[in-house]
Homo-oligomer: A and B are copies of this chain.
């Protein structure tokens, strides 16, 4: 009995590798499998070809095939079961991109971000900020205060501290780009961040700046971000208009 279902090999026929490319073989295989899954050519719940056959057909070793599949398993796109096979997971368990910045989110959501730089100066870290960044008190930092608009309306008041040795951005750069874009451009890749999200009522000054009624609910967020080496990159203390913004967070365990 050779039905379509019992022969999942036919679903991944167009995967092929280029041995002249500097891109690792396992990554080529993983990328092409990912495309087949994301395009829907291999449907949710479908079984993909088993490791041994796939390796043979692509003329790569089984460890290479395993590594490609493992790569996608870690991203939640595939689920493996010993004795059963490897199946395509439901799209809702696919691990999302994380650690993006507000600016990127707004651009992606077509909400026309605009940034007004209220303050920009080099100063010494206060004790609280030094502690958050786990740096010695008095370390020189770049202090930034920005007002972020979306679709023409004020959305958030953002205060950030960045070690001077990490980044000292120009006013124009801050008006044009999100902070995380500037960090990455300077070669600092945030790997992990701790955020605390809370809420409180707006003070009179905040209400005026953000165009809210006095006492309106505000979302607060403080964050510290580090790179892979444990170097502190950024501390931020932001307030958002709760009527216009909420945080969407994707968590994964595994």
Chain A residues near B (Cβ < 8 Å)? 44, 74, 76, 79, 89-93, 95, 97-99, 134, 189-201, 215-220, 224, 226-232, 242-243, 245-254
A79 contacts which of B92, B229, B232, B248 (Cβ < 8 Å)? B229
- Say whether B93 contacts A200, CB under 8 Å: no
Q: How far is the CA of A229 from the CA of B79 in the complex (A)?
A: 7
Residue with the greatest number of chain B CB neighbours at <10 A, chosen from A97, A200, A253 = A253
Q: How far does the alpha carbon of A248 sit from the alpha carbon of B194 in the complex, in Å?
A: 7
Are A218 and B217 in contact, CB atoms less than 8 angstroms apart?
yes
Besides A193-B250, A194-B250, A197-B246, 7 more A-B contacts (Cβ < 8 Å) are A90-B226, A93-B226, A93-B227, A192-B250, A192-B251, A199-B246, A228-B254
In the bound complex, CA of A195 to CA of B197 (Å): 12
CA distance A221 to B217 in the complex (A): 15
Q: Closest 10 A-B residue pairs measured CB to CB?
A: A90-B230, A198-B246, A199-B199, A199-B242, A99-B253, A197-B247, A199-B217, A217-B217, A192-B252, A195-B249
Contacts A89-B230, A92-B230, A191-B254: A242 and B200 contacting too (C-beta < 8 A)? Answer: yes
A98:B251 contact, CB within 8 angstroms: yes
Cβ 8 A contact of A228, one of B79, B201, B242: B79
A63 CB → nearest B CB, Å: 8
Q: Are B192 and A76 in contact, with the CB atoms below 8 A?
A: yes
Chain B residues whose CB sits within 8 angstroms of the CB of A219 once the complex forms: 197-199
Q: Is the CB of B218 within 8 A of A199?
A: yes
How distant is the Cα of A89 from the Cα of B230 in the complex, in angstroms? 6
- Choose from B99, B192, B196, B252 the contact partner of A99 (Cβ within 8 Å): B252
A197: B residues at CB distance < 8 A: 197, 219, 246-247, 249
Are the C-beta atoms of B190 and A253 separated by less than 8 Å?
yes
